Amino acid sequence: IVRINYTGRLTDGTQFDTSAGREPLQFTLGTGEVIPGLDAHLEGMEPGAKSTVTIPPEAAYGPRRDDAIQTIDRAGVPPDLALEVGKQLQARTSSGALLPITVIDFDDNVVKFDANHPLAGKALVFEVELLEIVKAA
């Protein structure tokens, strides 16, 4: 179990997440609680160490998938749901799991949404500081 401070940016410098102003992130290495590339980067680091790593999409949220973009009949959306492009919603899969989706287009007849993770297909740059190893494996 480790505790880290981090800042995540896209390769163009746009920040998408940070632990600044919050409690450090605590998780168990190797259990899939964070993206694989960050997990692998932290292995072997010592408390107090700081580093920057660029993680390719394959070791982050994966490539963007065209099959994750779907169009459904507007009748399949609750009529009281106010739609807008960019709005984040949740859909229920056939197995009952919740799937985050983003509205990318709509009209009176259909709604087009994207089930890709917003960071899919992007390389991510993390500045990390390993604060402590709470419990060794």
User: Rounded to whole angstroms, what are the CA distances from 18 to 7, 24, 27, 61, 74?
Assistant: 4, 9, 15, 17, 37
Full 3-state SS string of the chain = CEEEEEEEEECCCCEEEECCCCCCEEECCCCCCCCHHHHHHHCCCCCCCEEEEEECHHHCCCCCCHHHEEEEEHHHCCCCCCCCCCCEEEEECCCCCEEEEEEEEECCCEEEEECCCCCCCCCEEEEEEEEEECCCC
Residue 135 is predicted with a pLDDT of: 79
Please state the pTM of the whole predicted model: 0.81
Strand pairing partners for 53?
126
Average pLDDT over residues 14-20: 97
Contact 25, 3 (CB under 8 A): yes
Residue 92 is predicted with a pLDDT of: 84
pLDDT digits (tens, 9 = 90+) for 109-125: 999 999 999 999 999 99
Distance CA 136, CA 95 (A): 36
pLDDT digits (tens, 9 = 90+) for 21-68: 999 999 999 999 999 999 999 998 999 999 999 999 999 999 999 999
Average pLDDT over residues 11-17: 97
Residue 137 is predicted with a pLDDT of: 58
Higher pLDDT, 135 or 25: 25
The mean of the pLDDT values for the chain is: 94
